[in-house]
Amino acid sequence: MHLNNARTNQAWKRYLLLVAIALTIIVAVILHATAAIALYKTGFGAFLLHNPISYVMIGLMLVVMFKFKFKYLLGFMHRKEKQSAREMPKG
């Protein structure tokens, strides 16, 4: 009975992951379309080049993006080091 519950729980998590990925893609497409429409209405971003707040927002987005990329990269490298250390024969 315990094994059956584990399989059901694992299938539920896989389904939830697919739903989360689909929602993320939908939200990203909607946000990109909204931004494109806004830029089109303002003259293809001419307004953004003269607005200092836009420079601050772009800088903040870059900082946050690089922070998360480096965090996951370092975590990936650390996992690889642990994995290779476990595979080395001790003798």
In tens, the pLDDT along 13-72 reads 788 888 999 999 999 999 988 888 877 777 766 666 677 787 888 889 989 988 888 888
39 and 24 share one domain: yes
Q: How far is 15 from 20, CA to CA, in rounded Å? A: 9
29 and 46 share one domain: yes
Domain span including residue 42? 1-50
Residue 82 has pLDDT above 80, yes or no: no
3 versus 30: which is more confidently predicted?
30
Number of structural domains found in the chain: 2
68 and 79 share one domain: yes
What token pair was written down for 68? 């998360």
Q: How far is 16 from 73, CA to CA, in rounded Å? A: 25
Is this prediction's pTM over 0.95?
no
What token pair was written down for 63? 């900082």
1 and 40 share one domain: yes
For 17-51, b where at least 16 C-beta lie within 10 A, e where not — what string?
A: eeeeeeeeeeeeeeeeeeeeeeeeeeeeeeebeee
12 and 42 share one domain: yes
40 and 70 share one domain: no
pLDDT at 53: 80
69, amino acid identity: K
